[in-house]
Amino acid sequence: MKVLVIGSGGREHAIVRQFKKSPSVTEVFAIPGNDGMKDEATCIAISQLDFQAIAEVVRREKITLTFVGPEQPLSEGIVDYFQAEGLTIFGPTQAAAELEGSKAYAKDVMDRYGIPTAFYEVFDQVEPALAYVKKHGAPIVIKADGLAAGKGVVVAMTEQEAQQAIISMLDGQRFGDASSRIVIEEFLEGEEFSLLAFVHGGHIVPMPIAQDHKRAYDGDKGPNTGGMGAYCPVPHLPKGLTEQALETIVHKTVEAMDAEGRPFTGVLYAGLIATSEGPKVIEFNTRFGDPETQVVLPKLQSDFGKLLIDLLEGQEPTAEWDDLHHLGVVVAAEGYPEVPVKGQLLPELHKLEGVQVFHAGTVLQQERYRGAGGRLILVSAAAETPKEAATKVYATLDSVAWPSCFYRKDIGWRTFS
């Protein structure tokens, strides 16, 4: 079959590559795609929000299945549009995608259906929000309600940080309409991890858990980012944690969305934290995460295309995963996540051996890649242990020069002790 991947980042590059490996898939298309995936997919320069034009491509090329990578097309209703046109697509409807599109809605769902999460309040005015912080103190977490490209969260360690975040979001509209309403929630102690699952019609196919590194700099210092690296699995967390999270969070959330009249199809991403009271939800995404996708999906040994079609057709899907440890490090442009430098010449990426390279913010000019965004690439390796995987990646990264770029040197550090 032919498949189409919507999106243009590192996550979509990993999805394209996994489809390319699938025996059931004969051809892969990407809209709009990026220069780094052009050897693996036919990229078509159409806006990922031009649903009519995308549907015309699907019909013209006789594409069997469309897979949506990013959150914005989902929140704007691409699945609803395709379903109305009688086209096969994997992802949540606009109503179901509100689980990610509104943090306040997600919190309300968790509250109504007894899904464990942090205590919270929702605000759209500065003064009541400031009063709430004064009453509860710090550390405390401030979140823009809407979509903010993974950057709409401030973990405030002091009341002053919290106050600045509140004012910049509500008064300064730091994230535009996305921060016209905010969620303030308690700071949870524990270790974060990501549990993703393919979901449709009562079937839930969990993936191995992963852990990403949100802070920009070594030692988990600096501003929050979309993610500076990740690894999968997470061997130092208790073995029963995944089963507990599936039972108390993932299954209950899928059942809750059915009860809400918003049945969920797609990739459900649960960003979780292992607390002394068990796993709790930090946030939901209604699609693959980035950079987790680049270390989770390559573990899949089954036919990716067939898995999704089986799921959509109500058959029991097969998902087999390798036993290796996958670890990936993001190379970002200097200035990320605020104002990244662009145009820097990158090393000859095709010469990097023993690793996988996933492209995100790059552009190909005269046979060399240059930086064109914040996070440029992710370099990953697989090995028998996380330490071995990290050694492979860092030996490769450290062997070449990265002008006007940076990367964390400690991805996976929690697994090394």
Statement: residue 61 has pLDDT above 90: yes
CA angle, corner 225, sides to 244 and 239, nearest 5? Answer: 20
Q: Which residues of 252-283 are buried (b: 16+ CB within 10 A; e: fewer)?
A: bbbebbeebebbbbbbbbbbbbbeeeebbbbb
Percent of the chain with pLDDT over 70: 99
Q: For 28-53, what is the mean pLDDT?
A: 97
> What is the spatial distance between Cα 26 and Cα 24, in angstroms, rounded to a whole number?
7
What CATH number should be reported for the domain whose range is 2-93?
Answer: 3.40.50.20
Domain 192-312: CATH class, spelled out: alpha beta
Query: For residues 115-135, b (16+ Cβ closer than 10 Å) or e, as one string?
Result: bbbbebebbeeeeebbeebee
Q: Hey, where are the domains in the chain? A: 2-93, 119-186, 192-312, 325-415
Quote the pTM value.
0.94
At 150, is the pLDDT very low, low, confident or very high (cuts 50, 70, 90)? Answer: low
Residue range 272-287: mean pLDDT, rounded = 94
Mean pLDDT, rounded, of the chain? 94
- State the Cα–Cα distance between residues 92 and 397, nearest whole angstrom: 37
**Region 12-28: what's the mean pLDDT?**
98
Domain spanning 325-415, CATH architecture: Alpha-Beta Complex (3.90)
Q: In CATH, what class is 119-186?
A: alpha beta
Determine the pLDDT at residue 176. Answer: 74
Tens-place pLDDT, residues 163-175: 888 888 888 677 7
